[in-house]
Structure 1
Amino acid sequence: MKGKIIEVKQTCPFPSGRYRRDGQGSAEEFREDVLQPALEAEKSVTLDFSGIHGVGESFLEETFGGLKRLHGHSQQELISRLNVIADTDTERSLIINSIKNYTKLS
């Protein structure tokens, strides 16, 4: 798959917190400074979560739900444009399910 590869551990070694005020590695920082610009520049983006153990639900919701709420990305668009890599199938499934759950139509 062509496009941008984001090694999450390099940009956000300990992904936690929802907002910038929560500290370095927040979902807001990751979404605004890394992920959204990548989505603007590329048709596909690979998120490599390798080496990260335990990503908080608030981080995942703010990252993916925020892409929908604040940037207008649809669930279908994100599912088709984002590829997820993780250390285990369980972790990968958790992240993919988070994308689906946090971008549902309200």
Structure 2
Amino acid sequence: MNLLRVRGGGQLGRHRHASPVYGYVLKGTWRYLEHDWVAREGMFIYEPPGEIHTLVVEEGAEPMITMFHVLGSVIYYDENDQPIGHDDVHVKLGLARAHYEKVGLGAGVAEALIR
């Protein structure tokens, strides 16, 4: 599970998921450039695996918070549908280790979060 918060408008890079994604909008609104619907507070969202999409929060919109349950990796794409990067639990754990080390807590703090 993760909480995505966007303030002041923004856009996530084009991406797709290797597995299903479930979301629940806690606050605000957002949409995908590739669809004509808008996700609003209180809505449940299902993202099928394999579809490339771009999440957008409009400029001037109230801050958005959505809880996502992402199962598996996220693959990022350029405008020609060529893969340009990925994100998964191992990437996030590596970033957490580096952050805790940088702020002086030590990478072991990240290890304590893993059962």
When normalised by structure 1's length, the TM-score is: 0.26
Rg larger for: 2
Judging by fraction of residues, say which structure has more helix.
1
